[in-house]
Structures are given as C-alpha cells and as structure tokens.
Amino acid sequence: MGKKIKVVGIRVRERATRAPALQEVITKFGTDVSCRLGIPGLEKEDGLILLVMEEEKAAAEISTELAAMEGVEVKTLEFGGV
C-alpha cells in the first residue's frame, strides 16, 4: 500500500484581518505541504485554502493550530494507498 495523502481544507472568514496569523501557521509547516491552493470567496471577504500533505503528524498539528483560531474552520480528507 502506498502513502496516505491528506487534504486539509481551511475556510477563513474575514480573511483580510485573519490572513497574517493564518499565514504564519501555514509557513511554519511549509516543508510538509506538497501543494497549496487558495480560492477567494465571491465577495472576497472569505476564502478557502486547500493544503495537500503526506505527513500525518504534521497534518494533524496544523489542523489543530488552525482550528483554534477564531473565524477559521478546518476539515481533513484522507486518501489511502496513493
């Protein structure tokens, strides 16, 4: 069986005010992120960020840190045997 791939979905409300703190956490885990995709909301107030990660521990840690932030919602999806 191959590696497990984690997709960490991050919904950010009022992204303009939360972006600096959010970016600081993402940067801390930068070497564990294989791919990053940012999608602004229609009104540009909110946003969605998708992170692709292979390290299970790092994915869990970043999810925990981000979920503790006000206005941030985190969900994780796992693909096995990739």
Residue 76 backbone phi and psi in degrees, to 5: -120, 140
Mean pLDDT, residues 77-82:
85
Rounded Cα distance, 42 and 35, in Å: 23
- Tally the domains of the chain: 1
pLDDT tens readout for residues 4-54:
899 999 999 988 899 899 999 999 999 999 999 999 876 778 899 999 999
Range of the domain at 66: 5-79
Any idea what DSSP says for residue 35? Answer: E
- Domain containing residue 38: CATH number: 3.30.70.1150
Rounded Cα distance, 46 and 57, in Å: 27
